[in-house]
Structure 1
Amino acid sequence: MTEIGAIPVFVAVADHGGFAAAARHLGLTKSAVSKRIGVLEAHLGTQLFHRSTRSISLTEAGEIYLAHAAQALDAAQDAEDAVAALQGQPVGLLRLSTPMSFGQLHVAPMVAAFLRQYPGIRIDLTMDDKFVDLVEGGIDVALRAGTLPNSALIARKLAPIHSVIVAAPDYLAQSGTPETPEDLLAHSCLHYAYSRDPSEWRLAGPAGDMRVQTSGVLRVNNSEALCTVLLDGLGIGRLPTFIAGAHLTSGRLVRVLPEYRLPEQALYAVFPERKHMPAKVRAFLDFVVERIGHDAPYWDLDAGPL
């Protein structure tokens, strides 16, 4: 009898490059993964992995087995999705990935309402500003902002993302308010590290499109941390309106150079292509679209005219 139950374990070890990483991904112990692979190799009568103290790699037999095992695993997933589509209520574990700040501010507050509406679903929510490989990480849906790279993933646009240049009133009172983009050169401009152009700010305004090479005392890889230091009056920075909106409404931050616009981006829901979309994924997409899938999402209303 084929060791069908070992196929997901074998594929995880091959994909993650080791027993420990596969064990973390599968929620098993390393010894359980190693034992399962040992049983599979004994059943097949051949070694699937070259093992050393520091790494493992597929043998020739392992390469051949992986090609067929991956197809079998995909077919099993398609079968599961097809059956789940026939059921009334979506069920199962939904693995989500979101950027840190957006997840904290806008996804986490939705979770309770979503789970009350779909009690058969459980959520594993990962918030990280770094790029996450959906297939390798077993992610069902990721929310991503910006320009998406070409890939085999399916992307659904949810809403525009606007950014604004902001500062605290105290900073502007002490350092002056820039009247033109060139005035930014004389100010402490704070930067988000994961931007494609952290220090080069592209602006479109009455004088046309222009680029300003800004400088300052801080570069940080988290937008909420950037917002915190801006609120403390450390300088001028760019923030997406989904972070800045509430602070603009309260007056704790004010727009700088409001007649100039920063490049518009978009928020996407991204998910692996499947023959049958899992009901839990469709339920989440519909839920998110209903709440934020608009040309003018609620955080832009807080930010005022853009």
Structure 2
Amino acid sequence: MKIKQYRTQFIKELSPFYDAYEAESFFYLILEDKHKLRQIDLALNHELNFSESDFVIWNSLLKQLKKEVPIQYLLGKTSFYGLDFEVNENVLIPRPETEELVEWIINENSIADKTKKLKILDIGTGSGCIAISLAKNLPNADVYALDVSKKALDTAKRNSVNNNVEVTFMLKNVLELEALKSNYDIIVSNPPYVRNLEKVEIKKNVLDYEPHLALFVEDNDALIFYRKIAEIGKVNLLENGQLYFEINQYLGKETSDLLEQMNFKNIELKKDIYDNDRMMKGNI
């Protein structure tokens, strides 16, 4: 069968689960990953064919997509802030909103004096997307990252090697820490923040396949990680140190109030590209 014919069939079979644009994007992601062919290649050569062995691979992927397994997990990779990252069931798939958080930190800390060192800690690093992107774009920074999951850290370590940056990784449960052994100029975290009551808003591909450990918190203490990380920041941030968070869009005021009660200064709340309260910064 010609690839162009299969494309029509592929999109049609996914139509009960995804809109046509998304289904088409899946097709071209797989085409480039498995065959090194781009959309333009198919447009220029309508006679390209799939082999029998190709059909086995494509039909297997199609079956998984119908179960709403994330395409990133099926391909084992995704892009974030211009870099390639391995992703699997042990780590969250990086979101565009988190790229905005990384952009904010880079813009505020790209200094002309490259001899001045920055020390940065990413808490709950997952795939390592925040830590690695910062290390790549802030060459004057020493970057550290911790996570409670060894499997997540193993993934993050591979990502740091593949992106040719040096990050020091630590296996720790932040909720069990009183303080850290070192001090930092910047602490950043995208911790679990989705309340159980918000599960009804979560799509099946996230709810059924992404790690709940990295997503959800109890309804009665939704800011548990923010409180703990802010407490650590009070002890381990250097003078004028910066604390950055990605936050629950519904809890912007509550998170801001928490930092204010803990005497953080210059608290700033920023919206994401979807106009949701999503990022917060405070200074020690």
With normalisation by structure 2, the TM-score equals 0.29
Give the structure, 1 or 2, with the largest relative contact order (CA under 8 Å, sep 6 or more): 1
With normalisation by structure 1, the TM-score equals 0.27
Question: Of the two, which has the highest radius of gyration?
Answer: 1
